[in-house]
Chain A
Amino acid sequence: MSGAEFVALSLTPILIGVFAAISCALPGNFLVLRKQALVGDAISHVVLPGIVMGFLITRSLDAWAMLLGAAAAALFSVVAIDVIRRISRIETGAIMGVVFTTLFALGVLLLEQSDASSVHLDVEHALMGNLESLIWLEARGWSSLLDPVALAQLPPELPRLAVSSVLILGLMLVFWRPLKISTFDEGYAESLGLPVRAISLGLVMVAALAAVTAFDAVGSIIVIAMFICPAAAARLMTDRLSAQIWWSVVFASLSAVLGYVLAGYGPLWIGFDHAVSAAGMIATVSGLILGACAVLDPKGRPAWIDPSAHRRFLRPDSRFHP
Chain B
Amino acid sequence: MTEDAAIGAVLSSFFGLGVVMLTLIQNMSAGQQAGLDHLLLGSTAAMLREDAQIIAMGGALVLCVALLLHRPMMITAFDENFAQSLGVNLRFIDGAAMALILAVTVIGLKIVGLILIVALLIIPSVTARLISNRANHITPLAGVIGGVSGVVGAGISSLAPDLPTGAIIVLVSGGFFLLALFFAPARGILASAARARTFQRRVHRRQGLLALAQGYHVHEPYTRKLLQHDGHLRADGVLTARGEDAAKAALRDEMRLAYLRRNPDYSEFLSRHDGLSDLSRSFTRDELHHIDQAMETAS
Contacts and interface: CB of A to CB of B under 8 A. Distances in A.
Chain A interface: which size bin? 35 or more
A94 B15 contact: no
Q: Tell me the dominant secondary structure on chain B's binding face.
A: helix
Interface string A85-115: 0011110011101100110111011001100
Nearest to B116: A105
Nearest to B37: A123
Contacts of A108: 41, 115, 164, 166-167
A41 B129 CA distance: 23
Interface stretch (A195-203, A286-294, A301-309): A286-294
Main SS class of interface, A: helix
A98 B9 CA distance: 21
Given A101-B119, A224-B8, A283-B13, A88 B130 contact: yes
Contacts of B187: 87-90
Contacts of A18: none
B31 to A, nearest CB: 11
Interface string A252-271: 00000000000100010000
A284 B13 CA distance: 5
A112 B167 contact: yes
B115 A267 contact: no
Residue among B9, B19, B125, B177 having the largest count of chain A Cβ atoms under 10 Å = B9
A287 B37 contact: no
A32 interface: yes
A274 B20 CA distance: 12
Nearest to A107: B167
A273 B27 CA distance: 8
B13 A112 contact: no
Interface stretch (A7-15, A150-158, A226-234): A226-234
A235 B40 CA distance: 32
B16 A225 contact: yes
Contacts of B174: 98, 101-102, 105
A279 interface: yes
A177 interface: no
B119 A37 contact: no
A276 interface: yes
Contacts of A290: 9, 13
A122 B41 CA distance: 12
A221 interface: yes
B5 A37 contact: yes
A40 interface: yes
Given A89-B187, A287-B12, A38 B24 contact: no
B22 interface: yes
Contacts of B19: 127-128, 221, 277, 279-280, 283
Contacts of B130: 88, 90
Nearest to A294: B1
Contact of A224 (B11, B118, B129, B163): B11
A181 B7 CA distance: 26
A22 interface: no
Contacts of A106: 167, 171
Contacts of A231: 5
Interface in A117-132: 122-124, 127-128
- Identify the interface centre among A112, A283, A288: most chain B CB within 10 Å of its CB: A283
B79 interface: no
B5 A32 contact: yes
A95 B125 CA distance: 11
B23 A276 contact: yes
B189 interface: yes
B181 A87 contact: yes
A3 B102 CA distance: 48
A151 B115 CA distance: 41
A149 B11 CA distance: 43
Contacts of B4: 35-38, 93
B196 to A, nearest CB: 12
B168 interface: yes
A320 interface: no
B14 interface: yes
Contact of A101 (B13, B16, B22, B123): B123
B16 A221 contact: yes
A281 to B, nearest CB: 5
A36 B22 CA distance: 30
Nearest to B189: A87
B170 to A, nearest CB: 4
A175 interface: no
Given A221-B16, A229-B12, A105 B189 contact: no
A113 B1 contact: no
Contacts of B173: 102
Nearest to B174: A102
A102 B177 contact: yes
B20 A124 contact: no
B36 to A, nearest CB: 5
A209 interface: no
B27 A272 contact: yes
A84 interface: yes
A112 B164 CA distance: 7
Contact of B118 (A87, A101, A225, A287): A101
8 contacts: A94-B125, A101-B115, A101-B118, A108-B115, A109-B171, A113-B163, A276-B27, A287-B17
Given A123-B40, A225-B16, A273-B27, 15 more contacts: A37-B8, A38-B7, A93-B4, A98-B122, A98-B126, A102-B170, A102-B177, A109-B167, A112-B162, A112-B164, A224-B15, A225-B13, A228-B8, A274-B27, A287-B12
Q: Which 10 A-B pairs have the closest CB atoms?
A: A287-B13, A283-B16, A280-B19, A105-B170, A102-B174, A101-B119, A225-B12, A274-B27, A97-B122, A280-B20
